[in-house]
Structure 1
Amino acid sequence: MSSENFLPPLHPQFRYRVDTVGKEKTPVLVIDNFLHEAEALLGFAVKFGEFRDGTDYYPGIQSKVPEFYSQALQTYLPDIICKAFNLAKDNIHYSQSTYSLVLTPPARLALPQSRPHVDTIKKEKLACVHYLCTPDKGGTSIYRHRATGFEQLSPERMDAYGEHLAKEALDTSWHNKYINGSNQYYEEIARYEANFNRLIMYPSDVLHSASIPEKFQFVPNPIIGRLTLNSFIYLK
């Protein structure tokens, strides 16, 4: 598994669909049964993982991935990505991936971690979540901000959105919680369960969040925790 020349085959039951989500018609690519024997990716995380505190507000720990994983993304998915997101192959620049394991208990969440977020306000990358866990660990949801109606954020929208965030922050009822479905400020408009070996991909400027169940067990063990492979596909 650690060989740089190793490329896992696609799962024999590989299938995909493209959903159109929300009023802003955001495309979401859903791949089920992505890679053959994906359990080996779980084994790699257990044997070779060097988990450290996450970056960019990720509520947990992260580790490097095997060399072949990015190669698999770039070998198997460009045609599907171009079709789903109306891109040309020349638009796809490179990918970057990390193992991610949710570990931060609600009481230790920073304010931005308790509400949906975007990874960028520019159309410069696509976000991917490849689940290496079971549905009870919680999937990923996409949201609409109720006050503004925004489902995607852009530089032009940030002033209006920021004003509402400041007001909504005064309400402490949603602090120190993982959002898991609609609340008074955000409407859940799509939810994707964490089926093992499912990969979802969406534009990084869409409001989204991991859906962490209320009775989630925060354990630093890739086998029984919420292990995902999180990737960005960077666009030219």
Structure 2
Amino acid sequence: MATYLLNPNCQVQLIQVGQEKTPVLIIDDFMLGLDQLTANINQSAKFTDANDSNYAGVRAPIDSDYLDSVLPEIVPIFYQVFRVPQQLNLSLKTARYSLLTKDANQLNTLQRWPHFDSYEPGYFAVMHYINEGNFEGTGFYRHRETNKENILNEQQAHDYMLALQNWVDKYGEPEANYTNGGNTVYERIGTIEYKPNRFVIYPGSLLHSPIATHTSHLSDDPQHGRLTANLFINFE
């Protein structure tokens, strides 16, 4: 029996982001008994520095109870909504609880810009906003120079990273801030507002970044911080 039960009366919406109309699935009121999840995370999760140039915070491995409860229930979504070929099987690449913690002046260069997770065609990011709090969500972006919203192959990844390096060579380091509403380098093309118990699925190729216009409320305390569960999935 699953440790956590998903809400049969959850609210589901599919949106399309940007000029490329990238599908993003949003499920509100995703899990029943969310308090049990937060209590278990607070009791047993061991958060350490993310050691991830793209993520500005701390992370902890997701427990098997969460995975065993969630993964079997969401697998059909990928075949039905995202049109993943039926012959491909889910491969879980990474599963972590995450707390966004860094103030703007602590961000490294890559954290000041949106990023993509993978250009593999069957690769998806799954994000579950968990805690109550006055937190901000996730932004999706278009890189103005290359006009890219998604990075879809190795050549595009090379061109995108080269464009960023050329920008730094010409103008210097970007302003120490989250991308938030956009800037001269990026246009924000979509936003997923932060809402407790909101579950989101989007292709890993989509340029995205957390929104944090105010950082004073960020915390490494899993009871009070901007806590998310993040799964990275590839269909192979």
Q: How high is the TM-score relative to the length of structure 2?
A: 0.90
Match of 2:17 among 5, 14, 21: 21
CA distance, structure 1, for counterparts of residue 220 and residue 111 of structure 2: 19
**Which position in structure 2 is the counterpart of 1:74?**
71
Question: Which runs of no fewer than 5 residues in structure 2 stay unpaired?
Answer: none
- 1:66 CA drift (Å): 2.3
CA distance, structure 1, for counterparts of residue 191 and residue 180 of structure 2: 10
Kindly tell me: are residues 220 and 162 of structure 1, through their superposed partners in 2, closer, same or farther at Cα, counting changes over 3 Å?
closer
Matches within 5 A, 1:1-236: 6-57=2-53, 58-95=55-92, 96-134=94-132, 136-153=134-151, 154-169=153-168, 170-172=170-172, 174-236=174-236
CA distance, structure 1, for counterparts of residue 4 and residue 13 of structure 2: 22
Q: Which moved more, 1:152-161 or 1:37-46?
A: 152-161
CA distance, structure 1, for counterparts of residue 70 and residue 91 of structure 2: 10
How many residue pairs match? The answer is 232
CA distance, structure 2, for counterparts of residue 199 and residue 89 of structure 1: 23
CA distance, structure 1, for counterparts of residue 80 and residue 133 of structure 2: 28
What secondary structure is seen at the aligned counterpart in 2 of 1:62? strand
What secondary structure is seen at the aligned counterpart in 1 of 2:219? coil
Query: Is the CA contact 2:104–2:215 (under 8 Å) kept in the aligned structure 1?
Result: no
Amino acid at match of 2:179: I
Question: Which runs of no fewer than 5 residues in structure 1 stay unpaired?
Answer: none
Query: Is the CA contact 1:113–1:178 (under 8 Å) kept in the aligned structure 2?
Result: yes
Query: Is the CA contact 2:182–2:188 (under 8 Å) kept in the aligned structure 1?
Result: yes
CA distance, structure 2, for counterparts of residue 63 and residue 99 of structure 1: 5
Query: Is the CA contact 1:135–1:193 (under 8 Å) kept in the aligned structure 2?
Result: no
Moved beyond 6 Å, runs of 4+: none
CA distance, structure 2, for counterparts of residue 92 and residue 134 of structure 1: 34
- 1:152 CA drift (Å): 0.7
Amino acid at match of 1:132: I
CA distance, structure 1, for counterparts of residue 140 and residue 216 of structure 2: 20
- 1:124 CA drift (Å): 4.0
- 1:214 CA drift (Å): 2.6
Q: Which moved more, 1:226-235 or 1:129-138?
A: 129-138
- 1:212 CA drift (Å): 1.2
Query: Is the CA contact 1:114–1:179 (under 8 Å) kept in the aligned structure 2?
Result: yes
What secondary structure is seen at the aligned counterpart in 2 of 1:91? coil
Q: How high is the TM-score relative to the length of structure 1?
A: 0.90
Query: Is the CA contact 2:103–2:216 (under 8 Å) kept in the aligned structure 1?
Result: no
Query: Is the CA contact 2:84–2:235 (under 8 Å) kept in the aligned structure 1?
Result: no
CA distance, structure 1, for counterparts of residue 216 and residue 232 of structure 2: 26
CA distance, structure 2, for counterparts of residue 55 and residue 215 of structure 1: 20
Q: Which moved more, 1:167-176 or 1:189-198?
A: 167-176
CA distance, structure 1, for counterparts of residue 137 and residue 198 of structure 2: 10
- Partner deviation per Cα, 1:127-151 (whole Å, 9 max, x = no partner): 0110013462111111111111100
What secondary structure is seen at the aligned counterpart in 2 of 1:136? coil
Query: Is the CA contact 1:92–1:233 (under 8 Å) kept in the aligned structure 2?
Result: no
- 1:89 CA drift (Å): 4.2
- 1:208 CA drift (Å): 0.4
Amino acid at match of 1:30: I
What secondary structure is seen at the aligned counterpart in 2 of 1:99? strand
- Partner deviation per Cα, 1:37-80 (whole Å, 9 max, x = no partner): 12221111111011111133221111122212112232211222
